[in-house]
């Protein structure tokens, strides 16, 4: 008797939905608390707390609805054989317009085109509500509907331009890969990730945002001085117009080897009135670079990618697996999609592990900034960002441990205080 792959996958999806909903309910109870955590009392203003609480509750209620609709649709699509049905429909459509559906690449691209349309239709109402109702209600959304539509079509155009050659290459690799298929697939994805990390900030990101050099002044001088002191090969320092879409703030860095760049959101500059607070945030980011966190994460992702492709090669020719999901044939893309479903339990465990590592890295980067003398400004900057972004003030420990890749503010401030205490002991 064949193993019930479909039933197992759908069953686990539902079990995970129930578990994550339980965590969401725990977090909802934390959002409803009427008082700040003791360590944040006198640090966060009551006005900001009330606004953050309202924002968190709105997002939480929205998430309940979105997650419910998602699990119902995803489970129904698998259980009722929508994927094999649509595979056949897409093939018939291609034949009707004179294309060769026997060509797996053409058939796959037609199938993906229909799936992309379906995805846009089902996601659009939630995206619009999130952007123009929830984000707007709490003062974050700065987009007009026309800017939203323009970004949407740019994203679709990029998918149409970049998707076909990538998918076609993967199908050809699987068809020709032989016993070294996992190595070839990993090599292709590794090269693709390097190319995308190179071209994204230069060619793709500017399609959506405007990047301008940070003007000369004290802030630029302080950041450049900090970078030089750490021997960080800073080549360019940009400000991005994040305020055209949202008032949320951020900062990040990118680039290979000796061609590093730092990007500040204009909202970050507006919210952190003191240069030292911004420089402290940059010191934290530079800590990630100095401590090789980015490299460790990249290597870990490459290892995981290789292991996933290795697992895929073990089941890609399983007739029982494809038949369990309603497929008579064994298309490459469908095999990859099914494999992603059957390793969902492993993915959840890996994601949890990566979150634990990421949280550890955040504490280490904070400690690094503290050692550079930025404990005070970093503390003030973290508080300011928490307030201005209306981030959740009360967090459930179970929910936080499972979902958060960054520690809650309470934990970060406590860790900074512990570092201070250790320093005083050494003195």
Q: Is 333 within 8 Å of 167 (Cβ atoms)?
A: yes
248 is in an annotated binding site: no
| Sequence-ordered alpha helix ranges (H) in 177-249 | 181-199, 218-229
362 is in an annotated binding site: yes
* Confidence (pLDDT) at 399: 94
Q: Is 281 within 8 Å of 376 (Cβ atoms)?
A: no
* CA separation for the pair 9, 342 (Å, rounded): 6
Q: Is 265 within 8 Å of 240 (Cβ atoms)?
A: yes
pLDDT averaged per 10 residues, the chain (length 427):
88 95 96 90 89 95 96 95 95 92 93 93 95 92 91 92 94 90 94 88 85 89 92 88 82 77 87 87 92 91 93 90 92 92 90 92 94 91 87 91 90 79 48
SS3 for 212? Answer: strand
Beta bridge partners of 326: none
* Residue 328 designated active-site: no
* Confidence (pLDDT) at 1: 66
* Confidence (pLDDT) at 179: 86
Pick from 212, 315, 308: which is nearest to 325 by CA? Answer: 315
| β pairing state of 251-254 and 260-265 | antiparallel
> Which string of DSSP letters, residue by residue, matches 55-102?
HHHHHHHHHHHHHHHHHHHHHHHHHTTHHHHHHHHHHHHHHHTT--TT
* CA separation for the pair 139, 387 (Å, rounded): 13
Name the token pair of 97: 């317009």
Report the half-sphere exposure of 178 (CA within 13 A, side-chain side): 1
* Confidence (pLDDT) at 426: 44
* Close Cβ partners of 357 (under 8 Å, ≥ 6 residues apart): 297, 300
Q: Which strands form 211-213's sheet, in the order they lie side by side?
A: 211-213, 234-240, 260-265, 251-254
User: Between the CA of residue 366 and those of 260, 354, 404, 406, 414, what are the distances in Å?
Assistant: 21, 18, 16, 11, 11
Could you say which of 135, 277, 285, 396 is catalytic? 285
The backbone torsions φ and ψ at residue 361, rounded to the nearest 5 degrees and listed phi first, read -60, -40
* Confidence (pLDDT) at 317: 87
| β pairing state of 211-213 and 234-240 | antiparallel
Name the token pair of 155: 């994203």
Name the token pair of 293: 């966190």
Name the token pair of 376: 């005070």
Could you say which of 366, 387, 388, 411 is catalytic? 366
Name the token pair of 101: 């559906």
* Close Cβ partners of 163 (under 8 Å, ≥ 6 residues apart): 109, 112
Query: What does R_g of the chain's alpha carbons equal in angstroms?
Result: 24
276 is in an annotated binding site: no
Q: What is the pTM assigned to this prediction?
A: 0.87
* Residue 427 designated active-site: no
């Amino acid at each position: 008797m064949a193993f019930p792959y479909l039933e197992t996958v759908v069953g686990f999806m539902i079990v995970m939905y129930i578990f994550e909903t339980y965590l969401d309910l725990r977090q909802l109870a934390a959002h409803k608390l009427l008082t700040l955590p003791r360590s944040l009392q006198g640090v966060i203003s009551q006005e900001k707390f009330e606004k953050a609480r309202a924002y968190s509750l709105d997002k939480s209620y929205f998430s309940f609805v979105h997650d419910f609709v998602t699990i119902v649709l995803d489970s129904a699509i698998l259980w009722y054989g929508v994927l094999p049905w649509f595979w056949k429909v897409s093939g018939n459509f291609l034949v009707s317009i004179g294309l060769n559906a026997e060509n797996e690449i053409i058939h796959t691209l037609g199938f993906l085109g229909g799936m992309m349309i379906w995805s846009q239709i089902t996601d659009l109402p939630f995206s619009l509500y999130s952007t123009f109702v929830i984000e707007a209600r709490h003062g974050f959304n700065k987009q007009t509907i026309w800017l939203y539509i323009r970004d949407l079509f740019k994203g679709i155009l990029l998918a149409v331009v970049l998707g076909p050659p990538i998918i076609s290459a993967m199908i050809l690799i699987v068809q020709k890969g032989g016993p070294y298929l996992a190595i070839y697939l990993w090599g292709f994805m590794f090269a693709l990730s390097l190319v995308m990390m190179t071209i994204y900030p230069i060619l793709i990101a500017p399609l959506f945002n405007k990047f301008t050099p940070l003007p000369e002044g004290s802030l630029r001088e302080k950041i450049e001085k900090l970078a030089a002191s750490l021997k960080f090969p800073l080549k360019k320092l940009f400000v991005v117009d994040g305020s055209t879409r949202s008032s949320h703030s951020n900062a990040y860095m990118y680039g290979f080897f000796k061609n590093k760049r730092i990007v500040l959101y204009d909202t970050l500059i507006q919210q952190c009135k003191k240069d030292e607070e911004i420089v402290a945030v940059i010191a934290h980011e530079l800590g990630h670079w100095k401590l090789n966190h980015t490299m460790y994460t990249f290597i870990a992702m490459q290892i995981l990618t290789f292991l996933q492709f290795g697992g895929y090669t073990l089941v890609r020719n399983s007739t029982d697996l494809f038949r369990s999901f309603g497929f008579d044939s064994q298309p490459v893309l469908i095999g990859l999609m099914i494999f992603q479903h059957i390793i969902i339990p492993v993915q959840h465990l890996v994601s949890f592990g990566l979150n634990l590592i990421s949280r550890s890295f955040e504490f280490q980067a904070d400690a690094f900034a503290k050692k550079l003398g930025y404990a005070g400004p970093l503390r003030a900057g973290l508080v300011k960002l928490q307030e201005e972004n209306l981030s959740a003030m009360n967090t459930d420990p179970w929910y936080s441990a499972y979902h958060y890749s960054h520690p809650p503010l309470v934990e970060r401030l406590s860790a900074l205080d512990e570092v201070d205490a250790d320093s005083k002991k050494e003195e």
